[in-house]
């Protein structure tokens, strides 16, 4: 039996414990305890030769556990954006594809928000990319604070952030978008170059039945929100409304 201890557990001393019918051997990596290997038998006490053999096995088991931990960390990092710590584009597409398959199977709804930062290019031009990076991380943290634990936040590219809202319909998604828009506006109030958000919303199944189509619909709604002046939320369903069209028609990404 191998028992894996969490990183903060220091309840064992790291010394071998020899009992009449039970033998326990700590699993250590350097001076760090990662678990304990135990053997039990009912009739015979363990001999010193068996203790030595178990010590060798314990060393191999500790190395295997450490390798597994390192692999898990590397695998997790490969799915995260290096700057913001949220999911990267590849992970977003994988998660969205999986969620859409679940929606199709169980007849569920889903919404996607495409968030773009207004005036972000000006911040980079005036204050430099380090300042822009700091603002992007700050706004990303703000967005994460205003969504549920089940929602997925990821960096789609540049200053575009995608939010996947499982089991969420149009009205609820719009409310989330407005909440994020207001939160970022308040966060950046008072800045010389205030950064706000333009948010486009698309929903499954009405606006697309695959990841690419749904993201394209949200992207188109987001660019129209920017065309209307930014700092606002727009659903893909609103693009054909007369008041939206009269504001200048559908703006194309340039």
**Could you report how far apart the first and last alpha carbons of the chain are, in Å?**
61
Query: Considering only CA atoms, which of 106, 77, 72 is closest in space to residue 91?
Result: 77
251 is catalytic: no
Catalytic residue among 159, 209, 231, 251: 159
Q: Which residue has the tokens 């719009």?
A: 174
How far apart CA 221 and CA 202 sit, in angstroms, is 8
Q: Cα dihedral angle (64, 70, 71, 76), rounded to 10 degrees?
A: 150
Q: Which residue has the tokens 């978008």?
A: 177
What's the chain's Rg over C-alpha atoms?
Answer: 26
Write b or e for each residue in 12-46: b if 16 or more Cβ atoms lie within 10 A of its Cβ, otherwise e: beeeeeeeeeebbbbbbeeeebbbbbeeeeeeeeb
Q: What DSSP string runs through 12-37?
A: S-S--EE-SSEEEEEEEETTEEEEEE
Residues with catalytic function: 159
């Amino acid at each position: 039996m191998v028992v894996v201890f969490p990183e903060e557990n220091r309840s064992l001393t790291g010394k071998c414990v020899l009992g009449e019918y039970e033998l326990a051997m700590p699993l250590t990596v350097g001076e760090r305890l990662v678990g304990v290997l135990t053997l039990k038998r009912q009739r015979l006490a363990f001999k010193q030769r068996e203790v030595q053999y178990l010590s060798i096995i314990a060393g191999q088991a500790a190395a295997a556990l450490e390798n597994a931990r390192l692999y898990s960390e590397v695998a997790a990092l490969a799915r995260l954006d290096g700057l913001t710590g949220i999911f990267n584009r590849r992970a977003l597409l994988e998660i969205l594809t999986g969620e859409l398959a679940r929606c199709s199977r169980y007849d569920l709804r889903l919404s996607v928000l495409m968030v773009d930062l207004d005036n972000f290019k000006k911040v980079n031009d005036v204050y430099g990319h380090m300042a822009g990076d700091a603002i992007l991380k700050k706004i990303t943290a703000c967005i994460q604070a205003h969504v549920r634990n089940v929602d997925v936040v990821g960096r789609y590219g540049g200053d575009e952030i995608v939010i996947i809202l499982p089991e969420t319909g149009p009205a609820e998604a719009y409310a989330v978008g407005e909440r994020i828009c207001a939160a970022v506006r308040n966060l950046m109030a008072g800045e010389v170059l205030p950064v706000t958000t333009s948010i486009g919303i698309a929903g499954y199944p009405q606006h697309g039945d695959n990841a690419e189509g749904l993201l394209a619909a949200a992207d188109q709604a987001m660019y129209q929100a920017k065309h209307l002046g930014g700092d606002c939320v727009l659903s893909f369903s609103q693009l054909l409304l007369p008041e939206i069209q009269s504001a200048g028609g559908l703006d194309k990404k340039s």
